[in-house]
Amino acid sequence: MGVLSQALLICRKDLKQELRTRESFTAAFFFALLLQVVFSFSFDFLDLGLDFTEVGAGIIWITLTFSAILSLQNSFLIEREKDCLQGLALCPADASSIYLGKFLANTLFILVVQAFILPISVVFFGYDLSAGAAPLALVVSVNTVGFSALGTLFSAMTARTRRSELLLPLLLFPAAMPLVIWGVKATRLCLAGRRLESYGYLVALSGCFDVIFVVAGILLFEYVVED
């Protein structure tokens, strides 16, 4: 069985589980929703006369990253609770396929939550996304891939430590900072109505980040799951 087909199998297993329980989606989605409400009070756009395009990128990205962390934490926590981690390590699948499968599943879960949250944020904050919807989707997707690549690796590590809830954000945010920096800048330009050409380089940079750290994840994951 090829690495890719093994990975897809593992991805499907996670998907089936999630479709059954919807744990991860519920937690991440409602947390993101809550954040949006808090932000609407923290930055009273009408009162302050703020243009959403000025601070909106930051609000969007804080919401996306923090809710993504919840999804990622859940990804290996389930295995830990059901003691499946050892099962995973013993199964004949290559460590890299486990990583790829988990990474694909995580990316998918996070993207689904984002697909729900972004339209809701349009409603909450009343900004215009008609022209920018596709570029924004691109920016968000590319950066999510990188966040998930690092997050899957780190989540596997921290799930087996004490204080795992504290450790994952502590590890992931500094390491994924470039994605946040580039994502926010690109989103800001996108919301301001600029054309994709002007911020395309930021998407390309995020893409490079994605490639580097997916490869790193594939190479290093075996050291995380061995027992």
Partner 1 sequence: MEKVFRRLELVLSPLVTVLLVVCLYRVFRVVPNEVTMGVVQRIFYFHVPSAWASFLAFFVVFGASVLYLATRKPIWDTLAHASAELGVLFCTIVLITGPIWARPIWGTWWTWEARLTTTLILYLVYVAYLVLRGQAENREQEARFASVLGIIGFLDVPIIYFSVRIWRGHHPIVFKTAGGQGLEPVMLTTFMLCMLTFTLLYALLLILRLRLGLLRNDLEQLREQEQALGV
* Minimum distance of partner 1 from residue 223's CB (angstroms): 5
- Closer to partner 1 by CB, 64 or 117: give it: 64
Q: What is the DSSP string of 69-113?
A: HHHHHHHHHHHHHTTHHHHHHHSSS-HHHHHHHHHHHHHHHHHHH
* Minimum distance of partner 1 from residue 58's CB (angstroms): 13
Closest Cα to residue 143, out of 199, 204, 91? 204
* Minimum distance of partner 1 from residue 213's CB (angstroms): 7
- Closer to partner 1 by CB, 34 or 84: give it: 84
- Closer to partner 1 by CB, 56 or 151: give it: 151
- Closer to partner 1 by CB, 15 or 175: give it: 175
43 DSSP 8-state letter: S
* Minimum distance of partner 1 from residue 112's CB (angstroms): 26
Structure tokens at 227: 């027992």
**For residues 62 and 73, what is the distance between their CA atoms, to the nearest angstrom?**
17
194 DSSP 8-state letter: -
* Minimum distance of partner 1 from residue 141's CB (angstroms): 18
- Closer to partner 1 by CB, 54 or 128: give it: 54
Binding residues vs partner 1 (CB under 8 A): 150, 153, 157-158, 160-163, 167, 170-171, 173-175, 177-178, 181-182, 185, 202, 205, 209, 212-213, 216, 220, 223-224, 226
Q: What is the DSSP string of 15-38?
A: HHHHHHH-HHHHHHHHHHHHHHHH
